[in-house]
């Protein structure tokens, strides 16, 4: 069974992803793949250099994510240009990994960890049968993001604006993991979800 896992900034999606992996799920991590496709020597890095200049490349020849982020966060056209370089490569690799896991063990739960799943219209791709949203209230998102990244409230709110509201993702979800309590409470939900899907297959 292929499942889409998403959430919002500072909702704890990565924590839930690790918990599912610990239960035995195979995880196809979009963020990890996004980092891999821009490693030195990869064609995507050369295209980014050509599109955004040497200023986004470190002296060691790696992508300077902070500098690139400062460009694309404030410029929608630049963000679209970057997405045009990265998204086809990321999606091709996600599809390859998903198909590989499905072929290797058809009964295994395969979790596609995709931060912008709804924003990118991927909820019905890769054979995804249901979407799990990791949820915390918006105010909790802001507080956790400020604490995690050491940023002001205004900056935290600006980052949240780049994604769909968490309440909308919650409304669309097939399954909600509420991560606003303790880690133990979250883990109980994750284990119960995993057990129900592995035992019974699709809901």
- From CA 113, how far away is CA 33, in angstroms rounded? 10
Quote the mean pLDDT of the chain: 92
Q: What's the pLDDT score for residue 69?
A: 84
Domains of the chain from N-terminus onward = 2-25+109-200 (3.40.50.300)
Q: What's the pLDDT score for residue 57?
A: 94
Q: Is there a contact between 126 and 94 (Cβ–Cβ < 8 Å)? A: yes
Q: What's the pLDDT score for residue 158?
A: 86
Q: What's the pLDDT score for residue 199?
A: 60
- Structure confidence by residue, pLDDT tens digits, 75-89: 889 989 999 999 999
Distances (CA, A) of 32 to 39, 63, 65: 11, 14, 14
- From CA 83, how far away is CA 184, in angstroms rounded? 37
- 118 vs 158, residue with greater confidence: 118
* Res. 202: pLDDT tops 60: no
Over residues 145-161, the mean pLDDT reads 90
Q: What's the pLDDT score for residue 11?
A: 94
Over residues 135-140, the mean pLDDT reads 95
Name the pLDDT band for 26 (thresholds 50, 70, 90): very high
- From CA 45, how far away is CA 56, in angstroms rounded? 10
- Structure confidence by residue, pLDDT tens digits, 47-57: 999 999 999 99
Backbone angles phi, psi at 175, to 5 degrees: -135, 140
């Amino acid at each position: 069974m292929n499942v889409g896992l998403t959430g919002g900034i500072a909702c704890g999606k990565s924590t839930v992803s690790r918990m599912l992996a610990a239960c035995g799920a195979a995880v196809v991590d979009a963020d990890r793949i996004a980092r891999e496709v821009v490693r030195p020597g990869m064609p995507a890095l050369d295209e980014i250099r050509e599109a955004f200049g040497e200023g986004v490349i470190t002296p060691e020849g790696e992508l300077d994510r902070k500098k690139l982020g400062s460009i694309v966060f404030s410029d929608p056209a630049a963000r679209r240009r970057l997405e045009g370089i990265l998204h086809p490569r990321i999606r091709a690799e996600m599809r390859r990994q998903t198909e590989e896991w499905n072929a290797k063990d058809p009964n295994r739960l395969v979790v596609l960890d995709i931060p912008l799943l709804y924003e990118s219209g991927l909820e019905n791709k890769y054979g995804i049968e249901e979407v799990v949203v990791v949820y915390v209230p918006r105010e909790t998102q802001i507080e956790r993001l400020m604490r995690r990244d050491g940023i002001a409230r205004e900056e935290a709110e600006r980052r949240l604006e780049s994604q769909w509201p968490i309440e909308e993702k919650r409304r669309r979800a097939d399954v909600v993991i509420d991560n606003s309590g303790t880690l133990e409470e979250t883990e109980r939900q994750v284990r119960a979800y995993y057990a129900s899907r592995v035992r019974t297959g699709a809901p």
